[in-house]
Amino acid sequence: MKLAVFDCDGTLIDGQASICEAMEAAFAGAGLTAPSRAEVRRAVGLSLPQAIARLLPEADEAARGALVDAYKDAFRAARADGRLSQPLFPGIAEVLHALKAAGWTLGVATGMSDRGLTHCLAGNGIAELFVTLQTADRHPSKPHPAMLEQALFEAGAAPDEAVMIGDTAYDMIMARDARVRAIGVDWGYHHPEELREAGAEFVAETPEDLARYLTA
């Protein structure tokens, strides 16, 4: 068994524009000044309630809940209007198929919702490649290891047979706490040095680097 579990946004797909636009719409609807896009990108990887709490720590629970709902509404509206942009990073599809051909079992662990992840993977034509999908709907937010532990269980893999691949320190800490190898990618939301400090054994500069590292 060789199990590769991927984060989604920032690792498989580039959804930062849609995330930032939905967050700006949510804050504007509440009459609040939106955080900078740099701040929003730093929170990507956390589940939505935790991301909102990070962006607006002074707000009470009711205000944060309203922002969560407003963000979801904005995101759904963008999807319905055809404005949602979640393309695969160049080279990612080829990496996934190469790993599959090399005998890897593939999974996803993401702060996205079940519905959002299903739509994203299907829209990019890669849904059939994954045997386990873990989302914020059923688990605590990263870096809690629950998502990764469930992925191991569903795939029938031991921790030493798996790797977690992601673009944030949250992914690396989750991997460490689940006793899984952590591999970072340099095209997402956190700096490579942050990933190494959080436990990444390797940080791929390109998808091709990642494929070479895992199939060597």
Q: Which residues are catalytic?
A: 7, 9
Burial 177-202 (b: 16+ CB within 10 A, else e): bbebbbbbbebbbbebebbbebbbeb
User: What's the rounded Cα separation, in Å, for the pair 56 and 27?
Assistant: 10
Q: Which strands make up the sheet holding 181-185, listed edge to edge? A: 130-134, 105-109, 3-6, 162-166, 181-185, 202-204
CA angle 119, 122, 126 (to 5 degrees): 135
Which residue has 């759904």 as its token pair?
A: 76
User: What's the rounded Cα separation, in Å, for the pair 151 and 138?
Assistant: 12
Locate 211 and state its tokens. 């494929």
Within 10 angstroms of residue 108's Cβ, the number of other Cβ atoms is: 27
CA dihedral 95, 97, 101, 104 (to 10 degrees): 70
- Residues 6 or more apart whose Cβ sits within 8 Å of residue 190: 42, 45, 167, 168, 169, 184
User: What's the rounded Cα separation, in Å, for the pair 172 and 151?
Assistant: 15
